[in-house]
Amino acid sequence: MLTDLLGFPPQVLFGQLLLGLINGAFYAVLSLGLAVIFGLLNIVNFAHGALYMLGAFATLALTQYLGIGYWGALILSPIIVGTLGILAERLLLRRLAGIDHLYGLLLTFGMALVIEGVFVKLFGASGTPYAAPAQLQGGINLGFMFLPWYRGWVVVASLAVCVFTWYLFERTKIGAYLRAGTENPRLLQAFGVNVPLLTTLAYGYGVGLAAFAGVLAAPITQVNPMMGSNLIIVVFAVVVIGGMGSIMGAIVTGLSMGVIEGLTKVFWPEASSTVIFLVMAIVLVLRPAGLFGKTA
Amino acid sequence: MKLFKKFAASASALALLTSGASAEISDGVVKIGLLTDMSGTYSDVAGPGTVTAAEMAIEEFGGTVAGAPIVLVSADHQNKADIAANKAREWGDTEQVDAFAELVTTSVAMAVFEVAKQQNKIALVSGAASSPLTNEACIPTGLHWTYNTRALAVGTGSAVVKEGGDSWFFVTADYAFGEALQNDVSKVVEAAGGKVLGSVKHPFPASDFSSFMLQAQASGAKVIGLANAGGDTINAIKAAKEFGIVDAGQTIAGLLVFLSDVHALGLETAQGLQMTVSFYWDLNDETREWSKRFFEKTGKMPTGIQAGTYSSVRHYLKAIEATGSDDTDTVVAKMREMPVEDMFSHGGVLRTDGRMVHDMYLAEVKSPAESSGPWDYLKIVRTIPGEEAFGPLSESTCPTK
């Protein structure tokens, strides 16, 4: 068998593939949010990692101060953080509409540094543990590995959100308006559609996706101020590989990069933080617009 | 960007203006440059707490030594050797810094050693752990204070082997420190008749450890040794618990665990973990008194790195006080001559290879039932005498010892 040839027993390989898929689910949800924001607002949202972190901290705060558990937070945290995102779009990002991308990038990057800096100052770098909900404690022995129920839930929830988002943007009327708004906002406005409101809501939705991923991550890693900055660069690479602004590209690339990274962790663990960038470089040489991107 | 400086409150502008410093103190000021990780993986084990600890040492001298004001400057090295080296060079060349302090992360300490050697300045290492710092990588003015990977191996490594953990697999941070720790522990395990089955090197820092921990599980080793630190250790321990590795019978040996890590994990997850520490706040009246003052300033109990920074800065200033000079060679000679006497160390000896030899402790994390509240986390299992922990000077491979 191929797996035997590579010197690894098949059960190890299956386990690593599954773990890769779990991590890929996070990449998919995060890069999906970035793709929505870039596709509709033309903003390279470097604050995405910080917003993901805010989602996790909101979960923690809801439990500690209001006694609202994980399931409530899964709905409320994205709404809270999404509202913050809407405020930021109205108060700050809107002013940069129509000028060079670079300004939006710098502003969101600055926002991320400020938010993360404040949280490190307040909470320290080690973070706080957050317990998985009682219904998802423990796990199941699959024969080739022990799968914690919670990790399984992460994959199911992420895929559900990805499919919903794809459907919303590609198959509904609101999605059609949004896509038309990027193509030709003036024309759409002439038809009586409130385009600025649409873009604000789209940003709020993208931010909400980041926060949703943050809630999913809270029981897995420590809830920690730097949890987003460790991830965001990889997620940007995923978006570039998939094609900036492509929703399907973000989903498929997120999952597949998780798997590629997972396999690298077995065959060459030291390179596992680099392999995605290697793929990015190769894709940029062969298909500059990304795997799913349309060439301009 | 993230680089920021702060002058210690103890050195008032007035003192700077009016000091009629003695001729022996160069530039009329004793200046200590503290480089640490202010916001990254190691900022809780070292970080701002080490600045507070150094300030507490300076306060004991009333802000002046040998008639000259003491100034503390600090910067965030972001765990990057190049940032640390550039800052140290700038401090030494243009800002009259006499000694570098703290220096968590081995790669940072090694880079600053280069600068200290060129400029003939003192490097007071507290946070970096690798034993090569007083062996092949040693410099005459590099003083390694708090602990090292050999002492961690002697403490936790031998304790785990003694309990029957005779086959090991390492999950190792992929840089100089992880390698040094894995080497030192492997030596101890093999000397005790145990076997090392393999290792996996993970990027530093890493966030998801499930893959590495499952590889460790598949090795079938009785003990999974974590040759990493800070946030990496926390995430690895969490993953081991989540994936049922501990319940399935394998032992997790955290080879470098700090009090702040236990605090972050919570006793429910961390209980029973054995760890080697250079310091614990609840050792005796002296440590409790000092730690209480530290807690009032920071809201946290000190880690060994923070207490060690206090001790190293204090001993450095003691030597300046005794000699009336801040000349590097004079001060280092005096620091070696005087025993290190403070709440961190009693009868500590600073050897010619740069190693400060003092007692270490093997501790075990209490269960939630044993703990009386926040920060009551450890029980001391055994005191490891300095010589046993750090080995004799004859073992050191430092060429200038």
Residues A154-197: tens digit of each pLDDT: 999 999 999 999 999 889 998 888 888 877 888 888 888 888 88
For residue range A229-248, what is the model confidence (pLDDT) as tens digits? 878 999 999 999 998 878 88
Q: What is the mean pLDDT of chain A?
A: 89
Q: What does the pLDDT read at residue B3? A: 43
Q: Do B242 and A227 touch (CB under 8 A)?
A: no
Judge if B13-147+284-357 and B150-277+360-395 fold alike in CATH terms. yes
Does B375 touch chain A if contact means CB atoms closer than 8 Å? no
Q: Distance from CA of residue A65 to its chain's centroid? A: 27
Q: What percent of chain B has pLDDT above 70?
A: 94
- The number of residues making up chain B comes to 401
Measure A164 CA to nearest chain B CA, in Å.
Answer: 27
Please report residues of A whose CB lies closer than 8 A to that of B2.
113, 117
pLDDT surpassing 50 at residue A57? yes
For residue B296, count CB atoms less than 10 angstroms from its CB and return exposed for 0-12, middle for 13-18, buried for 19 or more.
exposed
Give per-residue pLDDT as tens, A198-231: 889 989 999 999 999 999 999 988 899 989 987 8
- Asked whether the beta carbons of residue A124 and residue B206 sit closer than 8 angstroms, the reply is no
The Cα of A245 is separated from the nearest Cα of chain B by a number of Å equal to 27
Give residue A6's pLDDT: 58
Say if residue B7's pLDDT is above 70.
no
Distance between CA atoms of B276 and B380, rounded to whole angstroms?
9
The CA-based angle A283-A286-A289, given to 5 degrees, is: 70
Selected residue of A22, A116, A126, A155 to mutate for chain B interface (largest B Cβ count, 10 A): A126
> What ranges do the domains of chain B cover?
13-147+284-357, 150-277+360-395
List, for residues B264-298, the tens digit of each pLDDT value.
999 988 988 889 999 999 999 999 999 999 999 99
Residue with the bigger pLDDT between A125 and B4: it is A125
What pLDDT score does A174 carry? 87
- Given the DSSP bridges, would you call strands B99-102 and B356-357 parallel, antiparallel or unpaired? unpaired
Q: Identify the CATH number of the domain defined by range B150-277+360-395.
A: 3.40.50.2300
Give dist(CA A102, CA A181) in Å, integer: 21
% of residues, chain A, pLDDT over 70? 96
Helix H segments across chain A? 2-5, 10-41, 48-66, 70-91, 101-123, 149-171, 173-183, 185-190, 195-217, 229-242, 247-267, 275-286
Token readout for B383 is: 């005191």
Contact B205 A230 (CB under 8 A): yes
Q: How far is A294 from chain B (nearest CA, A)?
A: 33
Q: Which residue of A has its CA nearest to B231?
A: A126
- Average pLDDT of span B323-339: 95
- Using the 8-state DSSP alphabet, how is residue A293 labeled? P
Rg (CA), chain B: 21
**B223: confidence class by pLDDT, cuts 50, 70, 90:** very high
CB pair distance less than 8 Å for A221 and B205: no
What's chain B's average pLDDT? Answer: 91
Q: Is the pLDDT of residue B227 over 90?
A: yes
d(CA B42, CA B21): 37
A-chain CB neighbours of B215 within 8 Å are: 12, 265-266, 269
Domain boundaries, chain A: 8-286
Rounded average pLDDT over B65-83: 95
> CB B27: neighbour CB atoms within 10 A?
13
In this prediction the ipTM stands at 0.86
The angle that helices B106-119 and B81-94 make with each other, rounded to 10 degrees, is 30
Distance of alpha carbon B319 from alpha carbon B314, whole angstroms: 9
Contact A264, A24 (CB under 8 A): no
Domain B13-147+284-357 in CATH: superfamily? Answer: Response regulator (3.40.50.2300)
For residue B27, what pLDDT is reported? 87
C-alpha–C-alpha distance, residues B291 and B307, integer Å: 8
A127 min Cα distance to partner chain B (Å): 6
- CATH of span A8-286: 1.10.3470
For residue B22, pLDDT beyond 60: no
